[in-house]
Structures are given as C-alpha cells and as structure tokens.
Amino acid sequence: MKDRFAALRQKMVETQIVSRGIEDPRLLEILRRLPRHLYVPEDRWEEAYQDEPLAIGEGQTISQPYIVAYMTEVLKLGGGERVLEVGTGSGYQTAVLAEMAAEVFSVELIEKLSRRARETLTGLGYENIRFRVGDGSRGWPECAPYDGIIVTAAAEQVPSALPSQLKDGGRLILPVGTGAQDLVLIVRRGEDFLRSELLPVRFVPLVSVH
C-alpha cells in the first residue's frame, strides 16, 4: 500500500506540478515525499493525489496539489524563514511550509480542523509549527514580523492587518475576490507594498468575524 501511494505521488508531481512549470528543487523533493493522503479522511485516501481540491469536512477543502506548489514557490523560501499561514485546514500546506522554512505559525478559524491538523502533524513529528484557533485575517501580530504570509481562503480585499506583519522584503500570497478570484502577491519594500495579480483561482471564502 505504501508503494502504491508513493507511485501516485511521483505521478502527481510529474504530471501536475513539474509539467506546469514549478522548478524549486527543494519543493519538488518535499512534494515527492510527503504523504498527502494522511491529511484527508481515510475513505478518500485513493483520491488524495488527484488534480483537484478535496473535501476534508466542515465544508472545507484541501487545496489542489498544483496550487499548494505554486503558492509555496512564490514565497521563495530558502530554509531559515518564519512563515504565517492563515487557514490551516487539513494541515498539508502547513507541512510543506514546515519542511521549507524554519518556523510556521498557522491560524485556523474552525477548532475541530485545527485540532485534527495538529494531531496529524504532531504525529508525523513536526516540532516547528505553532497552531492557533481564531480569525487569521488579523494575522498573528504577537509573533510578527514574517518573511512570508500565505492565506488559503479568499478575501474580498487584502485584509489590512496582514501586509504590515511582513518583514522588509517579505512576501504575502493570497486569493482575492468574490466570484472570480486572483492569486495576489504583495512584496514589502520598506513602507511600499508592491502588488501583482498572478493567476485566476477558486478558494473557499475567508470568513470574516466581527
């Protein structure tokens, strides 16, 4: 069974990720190695390596493999960074970040998902992830600044608290929009925030809590 998933994983990386232009060798090695099926319900293990998002319960989804790869590559992680993730969800993107960077701070609104992801990731031996239950659109100011921030749910606008939690030179990637969404990259240069639109996407909404 182990070999079967390993084979599906190699195929996933070649046909969905390398073929679409992802090049970072550290990232590709990590994607070839991480057991993505362990982050979805057991009755969906067979589908975990397919080219699509998948339901993980609570009305939420694990992002499509290519989107995880794309958003991670855009952050340009070299290994020493501190990264904030908004939307822990299944914890799969969290694991990719924990392998790519030094420390990950991951915020999830739904307690049950946060708890489940924490159990999975702790069980797999990760010790460089901090979890928080709450509204990630406020960021995690107590632990700022971050080299990278990734949001895996779509906001109507860039949440105003996030860019200011970047270090100088830091990068924020997030889906923005209601029906049609775009992945937006914001790069901090001193007090300037350079914005570019990268790719049309479809994410679950970032829930705003008042």
Record the tokens describing residue 92, joined without a space.
């799969």
- Judged by CB under 6 A, the chain residues 1 through 40 that form the site for ligand SAH are none
Q: What is the rounded CA–CA span in Å between residue 40 and residue 164? A: 33
State yes or no: is 63 an active-site residue. Answer: yes
- Which residue, 3 or 43, has its beta carbon nearer to ligand SAH? 43
Does 89 engage in binding with ligand SAH (CB under 6 A)?
yes
Least distance to ligand SAH, CB of residue 61, Å: 5
Q: What is the rounded CA–CA span in Å between residue 89 and residue 64? A: 13
- Judged by CB under 6 A, the chain residues 190 through 209 that form the site for ligand SAH are 204, 206-207
Least distance to ligand SAH, CB of residue 125, Å: 19
Of the candidate spans 28-36, 81-89, 176-184, 192-200, the one that interacts with ligand SAH by CB under 6 A turns out to be 81-89
Of 63, 90, 106, 137, which one is the catalytic site residue?
A: 63
Q: Is 104 helix (H, G, I), strand (E, B) or coil?
A: strand
For residue 159, CA distances in Å to 39, 90, 168, 174 come to 28, 22, 18, 10
Q: Give the one residue of 45, 108, 120, 174 binding ligand SAH; rule: CB under 6 A.
A: 108
* Residue 202: partners with Cβ closer than 8 Å, 6 or more residues away: 181
- Judged by CB under 6 A, the chain residues 132 through 151 that form the site for ligand SAH are 135-137
Q: Where are the alpha helices (DSSP H) in the chain?
A: 2-12, 25-33, 65-74, 92-100, 111-123
Does 86 engage in binding with ligand SAH (CB under 6 A)?
yes
Tell me which DSSP letter residue 205 carries.
B
Tell me which DSSP letter residue 208 carries.
P
Binding site for ligand SAH (CB under 6 A): 60-63, 86-87, 89-90, 92-93, 107-110, 113, 135-137, 152-153, 204, 206-207
Active site residues: 63
